[in-house]
Amino acid sequence: MTLLRTDGMSKAYAGVPALVDATATFDVGQVTALIGPNGAGKTTFFGTLAGEHRATGGSIEFDGSDITKWDADRRARAGIARTFQVARQFGSFTVLENLLLSFQAGRGEWWRPWRAFLPRMVPEQILELAEVTRLDKLLQRRAGTLPQGDRKRLELAMALAQDPRVLLLDEPTAGMTDEDCVITVDVLKDVMARSPQLCLILTAHDMSVVFALAHRILLMGQGHILLDGTPEEVAAHELARTTYLGAS
């Protein structure tokens, strides 16, 4: 089932196009990877979907509603969550506190952001989420002291704590060791297995991550979607081989 759809979505900055006529559909239970060189438009695509950038052309539809003019907060409340290439969390808060704050935010409780208002009992969903994301042994660690792999998984867990329907992951393995990459791929496979209703869209430069996770790939270049197909179709396509993947 298609949950998210873009039709001619475009974005320009001071008249300079960064995203041009992007038309695509994203389905429940599917992992879609956006690939392409730096400057291809992947991050702009993400930011426009999330509402951080206002589209200058085209439309965005989420679960049958036109959300083109919705701001980022309204989209987040509707169920669209995202992470960033550089992980963002409250560094002085513990892993558990960060997860609880995200859990509250996903339930419309941004007005209670301080430790004094955190629930006395940890919701079972948070404990399960910490286990799935391999953070269950780190709940009392301050987020700012975590190594890169754990920080990135914490940001992933914070997004999942908001119970999203669409999850946008911008370079979820950026800066990780090979070992952490393997762990994170396994985590994302577990997440999709446990949440078959989730629509997951990611960007990645690491093709081993893309081909391990994606059901579908969009190849982008100069703000355009150049190819849209299965991993096998994209890997075999001459355009992908010559413009990004390299000839084998």
The 10s digit of each residue's pLDDT in 47-69 is 999 999 999 999 999 999 999 99
Domain finish residue from 163, 194, 215: 163
User: Would the pTM of this model clear 0.85, i.e. be above it?
Assistant: yes
Could you give the number of structural domains in the chain? Answer: 2
Whether residue 221 is contained in a domain is answered as yes
CA distances from 156 to 69, 96, 188 (A): 26, 13, 9
pLDDT tens, 158-175? 999 989 999 999 999 988
Whether residue 86 is contained in a domain is answered as no
Whether residue 108 is contained in a domain is answered as yes
Q: Are residues 126 and 190 in the same domain?
A: no
Give me the chain's average pLDDT, please.
Answer: 89
Residue whose entry in the numeric block shows the structure tokens 């038309």: 23
Q: Are residues 218 and 149 in the same domain?
A: no
User: Of 85, 51, 73, nearest to 155 (Cα)?
Assistant: 85
Q: Which domain holds residue 155?
A: 95-163
**Position 75, amino acid:** R
Whether residue 87 is contained in a domain is answered as no
d(CA 8, CA 20): 7
Whether residue 171 is contained in a domain is answered as yes
Q: Are residues 155 and 181 in the same domain?
A: no
> What are the backbone dihedrals phi and psi of residue 75, each rounded to the nearest 5 degrees, phi first?
-65, -40
Q: Which helix (H) or strand (E) holds 62?
A: strand 57-62
d(CA 219, CA 221): 7
Domain finish residue from 147, 163, 179: 163
